[in-house]
Amino acid sequence: MRIYTLLFLMFSATIMYAQNTGSIVGKLIDKEYNNEPLPFANILIKGTTTGTTSDFDGLYAFENLTPGSYTLIFSFVGYETQEITVTVETDKVTEVNVPMAASAASLSEVIITTTTRKESEVALLLEQKKALEIKESIGAERLSEIGVSDAAGATTKISGVTKSEGSGDVYIRGLGDRYLSTSMNGLPIPSDDVNNKNINLNLFTTNIIENIGISKTYTTSSYADQASGNVDVVSKKYSKKGFSIGISSGLNTAVTGLDGDFKKTIISDDATFGFHQKEFALVDLITNQGWDPLVQDNTTNFGISLNGAYKFDVFGKEVKLFGAASHGQSFEYREGMFRSYRANIEDNGFPRSTANPSNALNNVPDVQDYYSNINTTAYLRGDITLSDNHTIGYNHLFVNKSQDRVYEAGRNGLGYVFDQQPQENGAFIRDQNFKQTTMFVNQLMGEHKLSERNTLNWADGYNFVLAEEPNRIRNEANILNPSEVTYAYVGGFQQRKSSQKIEDFEYNGYIQNAYEFGKLDEDENRPLKLNVGGDFRYKERDFKSQFIGVNARDFIVPNVDSFTTTFTSSNFNTSSSPELKLIEQQPDIYNADLTTFAGYANLDFGLNKRLSGNVGVRFERDEINVAWNVKNFIDRDTGTPRIGILNREYTDIYPSINLKYALNEKQFLRLASSITQTLPEFKEFAPFEYVSPTGRVIKGNPELVKSAIFNIDAKWEFFPSSEELFSATAFYKNIQDPLNLAQARGSAGIFQYYNTGDAATVFGLEFEGRVSILENEDEKGILNLTANVTQMWFNQDLYEEFQYFNKTESDLQGASDFILNGSLSYNSRKENEFIATLTGNYSSDKIYALGSPEDLQNSATLFNDEIIEKGFVTLDMVVSKQFNKNLSLKLSGKNLLNPSIEQAQQITIFDVNDNIVSSSKDVVQSYKKGSQFSLGLTYKF
* pLDDT at position 148: 61
- The answer to whether position 919 is within a domain reads yes
* pLDDT at position 915: 85
- The answer to whether position 222 is within a domain reads no
The backbone region for 364, taken as left when phi is positive above 0, alpha when psi lies in -120 to 50, beta otherwise, is beta
* pLDDT at position 154: 64
Q: CATH number for the domain including 413?
A: 2.40.170.20
The residue from 101, 122, 143 where one domain ends is: 122
* pLDDT at position 32: 65
* pLDDT at position 843: 85
Query: In the chain, how many domains are there?
Result: 2
Q: Are residues 115 and 260 in the same domain?
A: no
Residue 433's CB is within 10 A of a number of other CB atoms, namely: 21
Is the separation of the CB atoms in 784 and 772 below 8 Å? yes
Low-confidence residues of the chain, pLDDT below 50? 1-19, 105-108, 116-117, 346-357
CA distances from 261 to 272, 293, 433, 754 (A): 21, 11, 18, 42
The residue from 122, 148, 182 where one domain ends is: 122
Q: In the beta sheet, which residues pair with residue 625?
A: 593, 647
Q: Are residues 114 and 257 in the same domain?
A: no
How does DSSP classify residue 587? P
- The answer to whether position 215 is within a domain reads no
The residue from 98, 122, 146 where one domain ends is: 122
Residue 471's CB is within 10 A of a number of other CB atoms, namely: 24
- Which domain range does residue 70 map to? 2-122
* pLDDT at position 349: 40
Residue type, 747: S
CA distances from 816 to 335, 709, 764, 798, 839 (A): 25, 19, 11, 19, 19
* pLDDT at position 111: 58
* pLDDT at position 113: 55
* pLDDT at position 629: 94
* pLDDT at position 125: 59
Give the integer Cα–Cα distance in Å for 128 and 134.
8
- The answer to whether position 231 is within a domain reads no
The H or E element containing residue 99 is strand 92-100
- The answer to whether position 141 is within a domain reads no
Q: Are residues 117 and 252 in the same domain?
A: no
* pLDDT at position 519: 75
Q: CATH number for the domain including 37?
A: 2.60.40.1120
- The answer to whether position 241 is within a domain reads no
* pLDDT at position 227: 82
pTM of the model: 0.83
- The answer to whether position 127 is within a domain reads no
* pLDDT at position 351: 41
- The answer to whether position 907 is within a domain reads yes
Q: Are residues 117 and 264 in the same domain?
A: no
